A and B are shown apart, each in its own frame.
Chain A
Amino acid sequence: MSLSSSDIARIASLAKLDLGAAESERMLTQINGFFDLVERMRAVDTHGVEPLSHPVAAIEDVTLRLNADVVTEPDNREANQKSAPAVEAGLFLVPKVIE
């Protein structure tokens, strides 16, 4: 299986990356090189095998904890917004979305 340039354009659009033409071309070659490796993985018979997400679940039950739905964080807005590119009156600024 091999990706085409239009696949690269579609994926870049989903990933919100503004790839240039030369970069897309290079990406296509490199990603197809990688997917050659993936073919062997696709061929493995995994019938009846459960997917593994938390690796320790391979030996024991791991249940992800749920925290109580209560406020635990103090107001730290200023520090949290310190590294934002555009802030005004405690709000993150973005380009106009609604005309």
Chain B
Amino acid sequence: MSNKDLHHLGVAQLSQALAQRAVSATEAAQHFLARVKSHPELGAFVALNEDATLAQARAADQKIAAGNAPKLAGVPIAHKDIFVTTDFPTTAGSQILAGYQSPFDATVVRKLAEAGVVTLGKLSCDEFAMGSANENVAVPAVGHDQAVPVRNPWDQNRIPGGSSGGSAAAVAARLAPAATGTDTGGSIRQPASFCGISGIKPTYGRASRYGMVAFASSLDQAGPMARSAEDCALLLSTLCGPDPERDSTSLDRPAEDYSRSLNESLEGLRIGVPKEFLGDGVAPGVRAAIEAALTEYEKLGAKRVVVSLPRTELSIPVYYILAAAEASSNLSRFDGVKFGHRAKQYADLNDMYRKTREEGFGDEVKRRIMIGTYVLSHGYYDAYYLQAQKVRRMIADDFQNAFKDCDVIAGPAAPTVAWKLGEHGDDPVADYLADIFTLPGSLAGLPGMSLPAGFDGHMPVGLQLIGNYFGEAKLLNAAHRFQQATDWHTRAPEGF
């Protein structure tokens, strides 16, 4: 194949071409950098450092030439701008971190770099990963002199989903073969669904949170976003693993090779479809695509069973209480002293804190800090925060009941396809309600993924698969077999 078509290769194909020296890491990096620069209209990237990227690529080429290359040597990927990086600025999409340069790399970034991955740049996200549309961005995108929302490559008048919207748009538009994302309440699965790509969030505690700018510590998890389950498996096997020195919630479970079981048969696999996930709130076109995907699974030998997650709707208030509470605590570190923005004019220390934070944070971030501060304040803690943690356990228990009757759970990743930019206007609750199918799995800390399963009109629909704890291999196996039988994941938006 000619080098001008390199962007059509996924991670597995590209790493093979690199290992066989059909293409060099430097050529691959140059090709993708040129593509990124030729598509500023998407607003997907917020930082490039071509010198650093090409230096990483040259190092990969040397290892390949010396015959001691790690398994992903020379594969270019991009990181969500929530992971701190020494070679690129890190903003988490926020003005309060404008110009911040991390003295260290996030563990996920380091693990991927050790496997030979080359970093193309940093990807736009909702500020501090708070959002479902990637409209809450406060830093300029590459090729722009101001902050812009990310646009969906399938229809540029629509949102890509969020908060990992830059990651999803970049992968869908073939600006990068894969990207990292983070998922607190659906921020990998929902944008993957909206942009027609594959993305997986592992069990809470599988991937280190060290160097991920903290939003809600009991929910945040990193994961890969790519075009296929096969590519996700390669990257997930690399980025997971215990990090006992750096992340106290990282679980002491060795990393697995998720590629190994991709081809296992699905004969007899019990797929549980929660009746709450296909109710009236689901768009008819989304339901039709999900039904067709479930029929395809039956052809592959799986059995469909009905299960129930009776507290699905409650997951919205529970999540937005817990996440806001944890965010208000985590974001108290942004005070204009140690890093980032400081207000120019202030009367005293307290006034400096107040003005710095007022200027540095965007609306949605302030809203969540306010909600979180309130529910943690004296006299309200038991009624809100503690009550939410109790209902969280009931939601986790509901999943264990459902898993008595099934091996994986399936349903839509979101009730609709991607909506139009600005459509939810000034109503944050409209965004919150759209998270209904990803929040329950997040609260329970379960692995979940989204894979392309068809279209509603011209927009992609994602099938969500949720596994039991540590069931990532089963999810990727089920997704890969589906992708062997269908071609939804190979479809590219027009013009890309």
Interchain CB contact (< 8 A) of A58 among B332, B396, B432: B396
- A71 at interface, CB cutoff 8 A: no
- B353 at interface, CB cutoff 8 A: yes
The CB with the most chain B CB atoms within 10 A, among A51, A67, A79, is that of: A51
- A89 at interface, CB cutoff 8 A: no
The stretch from B143-151, B266-274, B317-325 touching chain A is B317-325
Is there contact, CB below 8 Å, between A53 and B389?
A: yes
Query: Given the complex of chains A and B, what is the CA–CA distance between A52 and B426 in angstroms?
Result: 33
User: What are the residues of chain A within 8 A of B352 when measuring CB–CB?
Assistant: 94-95
Is there contact, CB below 8 Å, between B429 and A33?
A: yes
| Chain B residue at minimum C-beta to C-beta distance from A20 | B358
The CB with the most chain B CB atoms within 10 A, among A38, A59, A67, A76, is that of: A38
User: What are the residues of chain B within 8 A of A19 when measuring CB–CB?
Assistant: 358, 366
Interchain CB contact (< 8 A) of B318 among A41, A50, A84: A41
**A58 with B342, Cβ < 8 A, contacts A11-B370, A16-B357 known:** no
Is there contact, CB below 8 Å, between A15 and B328?
A: yes
Interchain CB contact (< 8 A) of B350 among A16, A26, A37, A52: A16
Is there contact, CB below 8 Å, between A52 and B393?
A: yes
**A85 with B342, Cβ < 8 A, contacts A17-B366, A40-B313, A55-B445 known:** yes
Is there contact, CB below 8 Å, between A84 and B338?
A: yes
Query: Given the complex of chains A and B, what is the CA–CA distance between A19 and B357 in angstroms?
Result: 10
- B51 at interface, CB cutoff 8 A: no
Name the prevailing secondary structure of the B interface residues.
Answer: helix
CB proximity of A63 to chain B, nearest CB, Å: 10
Query: Given the complex of chains A and B, what is the CA–CA distance between A78 and B402 in angstroms?
Result: 53
Is there contact, CB below 8 Å, between B204 and A41?
A: no
- A21 at interface, CB cutoff 8 A: no
**A85 with B336, Cβ < 8 A, contacts A18-B358, A40-B317 known:** yes
User: What are the residues of chain B within 8 A of A7 when measuring CB–CB?
Assistant: 374
Is there contact, CB below 8 Å, between A50 and B390?
A: yes
**A15 with B369, Cβ < 8 A, contacts A37-B317, A51-B392, A58-B397 known:** yes
CB proximity of B355 to chain A, nearest CB, Å: 5
Interchain CB contact (< 8 A) of A51 among B346, B366, B374, B389: B389
CB proximity of A48 to chain B, nearest CB, Å: 9
Is there contact, CB below 8 Å, between A80 and B389?
A: no
Query: Given the complex of chains A and B, what is the CA–CA distance between A11 and B28 in angstroms?
Result: 51
CB contacts under 8 Å to B, within A81-99, are 82-86, 92, 94-97
Is there contact, CB below 8 Å, between B321 and A41?
A: yes
Interchain CB contact (< 8 A) of A37 among B342, B370, B429: B429
**A38 with B321, Cβ < 8 A, contacts A46-B390, A92-B337, A94-B337 known:** yes
Interchain CB contact (< 8 A) of A56 among B251, B318, B355, B371: B251
In the complex, besides A12-B370, A52-B389, A67-B245, 4 extra interface pairs with C-beta distance below 8 angstroms are A31-B370, A37-B429, A40-B313, A96-B349
Closest 7 CB pairs of A and B: A55-B445, A51-B389, A79-B103, A85-B342, A58-B396, A52-B393, A46-B390
Can you offer 27 A-B residue contacts whose CB atoms are under 8 A?
A11-B370, A11-B373, A11-B377, A17-B370, A18-B354, A31-B367, A33-B427, A34-B429, A38-B320, A41-B318, A41-B391, A46-B394, A51-B386, A51-B389, A51-B393, A52-B393, A54-B218, A55-B204, A55-B218, A55-B443, A55-B444, A58-B397, A58-B445, A59-B400, A80-B103, A95-B348, A95-B349
- Chain B positions near chain A (C-beta within 8 angstroms): 99-101, 103, 203-205, 218-219, 244-245, 248-249, 251, 313-314, 316-318, 320-321, 328, 332, 335-342, 346, 348-355, 357-358, 361, 363, 366-367, 369-371, 373-374, 377, 383-384, 386-394, 396-397, 400, 426-429, 432, 443-446, 469
